[in-house]
Homo-oligomer: A and B are copies of this chain.
Amino acid sequence: MTPTTVDLATDFKAAFREHPAGIALITARSPEGPVGLTASSVASVAIDPAALVFSVTRTTGSAGLILAAESFLVHLLDARHAAIAGAFAVSGGERFTPEQGWATLATGEPHLAEARVALRCRSLQQVPVGSSMLVVSEVLDIHTAEQPGGGVPLIYHDRTFRAVGDPI
């Protein structure tokens, strides 16, 4: 027999700390100005309708404003965006600075123009799970960078931003 859980919350956090994930930056226009957050939980769900899912661990602050927005923009990030991903992952990080290269879409969302791809979405369904919220999102349109930059995707693993590694 294998050992089972001693402390479920501790073991759960340790398990997912080691589970690698791609990194997204989700932005929206809000009554309080542009808002954004870094998410490691974005995954595609369906093709018809084109839909993705992500979760936020609280429903206040930037997350709450994104949950309330009519639409939001999900940028899939490359390794060269690690500093921006870090800034949007902590409170007090430098956000929406000119150096980060923001534009605004005609529909109002802040757009990191050099991101490889940004999917403009609307919330289809919000599913509360504990104090988190799962957001099932329909993709409305997709913006690709004019000059993709040839970067490798960014991943988060063991509390560290990393690049995608070699094929096995």
Interface residues, chain A, with chain B CB atoms under 8 Å away: 1-5, 8-9, 11-16, 18-22, 24, 40-53, 55, 57, 76, 79, 82, 103, 106, 111, 113, 116-119, 124-125, 127, 129-132, 134, 136, 139, 141-146, 152-155, 157, 160-168
Contacts and interface: CB of A to CB of B under 8 A. Distances in A.
A130 B53 CA distance: 13
B82 A4 contact: no
| Number of copies of chain A assembled together | 2
A19 B19 contact: no
A46 B142 contact: no
A-B interface, 6 closest residue pairs, ranked by CB to CB distance from nearest: A165-B165, A46-B130, A41-B43, A163-B165, A46-B132, A16-B44
